[in-house]
Amino acid sequence: MAKIKTSFFCQNCGAQSPKWLGKCPSCGQWNTYVEEIIQKEESGKGSWKPSGSGTKKTNTPKKIKEVNYEEQARWVTGDPELDRVLGGGIVPGSLVLIGGEPGIGKSTLMLQIALTLTGKTILYVSGEESEAQIKMRADRMAVSNPDCYVLSETNTQQIFQQVELLKPDFLVIDSIQTLNSQYVESAAGSVSQVRECTAELMKFAKETGTPVFLIGHVTKEGSIAGPKVLEHMVDTVLQFEGDRHLTYRILRTSKNRFGSTHELGIYEMRVDGLRSVANPSEILLTQREEVLNGVAIGAMLEGNRPLLIEIQSLVSPATYGTPQRTSTGHDAKRLNMLLAVLEKRGGMRLGNQDVFLNVAGGMRVDDPGLDLAVCASLISSYEDTPVSEQICFAGEVGLGGEVRAVSRIENRISEAEKLGFKKIMVSKYAVKGLDLSKFKIKVIQVSKLEEMYQLIF
């Protein structure tokens, strides 16, 4: 009987060591090494192999100048938000990983895409739900696809046998952490299993040209569970975000070999599935019956999409000693910097004030073009004076209190005009050489925070 071989793997980055280590030399994390059984199989075993039907592509070395490049025709899914985030649609042969918290709607999104891709043979493989459970969820949606097949299986060898018989055009795996390969002697979800199963699926996708979508779990820190090499192996990494207690979900991309990583998709969770939100600015702006202090509207960019978003602030005297600085949806360090600028350059005494900042709608933003809106919101709450509902802001604030120019100011102005705003405040350096007569909205130009304060308050 062959001796069982074991090795230690870092559960954070996937690094391997013949002995246990307290600190991983690769990623620097402590107490992440776990012993796993490894078993070396004969060459050719453990990975997907097509039948002798000519579907396998034979690769031979070529000179780079002799490579014939033709732009691959993307599949339009019918979901404008997903198509935008992917860069224009699904690329044949791509391996896409989508992660998110439990209950956020990952499986719903993938099942909805599988049901709307008509004219294609779809195989939806689930290791977490039975076929009856998948059917119950599909019945709640208002779409159907006669060519959508479901399979409840976790063993990759069994899955590939069904793939050989069905020959699907599109494959969904829910989820990668539940799969296991019989050629790796470790539990499902371990570093070895996740890496091996992903490698088999990647080989299948590249050799057959079949797009494969993998659903992945996340850790308590919000990152994709499993080794970091998982994100390196796939072509695209999508993050499905949002508060489970709110109706809106945000789809972002952190890696995309076939498009931009700055695009954003917004969905509304409904009883019958996810609905694409065509104009997210309208849902991100709160409908109020009265003007409130501490509220300002900022014009931001997410990829190529301009958005108007509501910034809410509350500044009140500190009661329990050290003042609190709490930020939801906005970078806390950026908030501290803006507070320091307001205190140093604007003369505001904020050292003994509690400051709470919230980005309405559950959004998480990092556009510096919102600095001016954040400052206006903070001043409004501190002075207890509301900002007019007819004005929005677009500008970056520097350490000297200057208002700096931001990118693509025309798009921001056009979005504000489209939503009915009468005025927009921008840096005077952002509109140099720009023909402002083509806009009906009034463009207010400032260069310092003092000018903004005098004009608004």
Of 244, 275, 255, nearest to 101 (Cα)?
244
Is position 242 annotated in a ligand binding site? no
Q: 163: helix, coil or strand?
A: helix
In angstroms, the CA 88 to CA 379 distance is 42
Evaluate whether 98 touches 213 at the Cβ level (below 8 Å).
yes
Asked whether residue 101 is marked as a ligand-binding residue, the answer is yes
- The whole-angstrom separation of Cα 393 and Cα 133 is 48
Nearest by Cα to 163 from 116, 122, 215? 122
Contact (CB, 8 A) for 10 and 24: yes
Closest CA to 456 of 412, 408, 395, 404: 395
Distance CA 254, CA 249 (A): 16
Q: Which residue has the tokens 């371990």?
A: 190
What's the number of CA atoms in the CB half-sphere (13 Å) around residue 100?
Answer: 25
CA distance 295 to 396: 18
Contact in structure between 205 and 168 (CB atoms under 8 Å): no
Which strands, in side-by-side order, build the sheet including 391-394? Answer: 325-328, 353-359, 305-317, 295-302, 391-394, 423-427, 442-446
Say whether the peptide bond before residue 107 is cis (omega within 30 degrees of 0).
no
102 assigned to a ligand binding site: yes
User: Does the annotation flag 152 for ligand binding?
Assistant: no
The answer to whether 424 and 443 have CB atoms below 8 angstroms apart is: yes
Strand 391-394 versus strand 353-359 pairing type: unpaired
Strands 295-302 and 353-359: unpaired
Of 240, 274, 278, which Cα lies nearest the Cα of 112? Answer: 274
Q: Is 106 among the annotated ligand-binding positions? A: yes
Report the alpha-carbon distance of residue 21 to residue 25 in Å, rounded.
Answer: 9
Phi-psi category of residue 81: left, alpha or beta, with phi > 0 → left and psi -120 to 50 → alpha: alpha
Can you say which residues are annotated as belonging to the binding site for ATP?
100-107
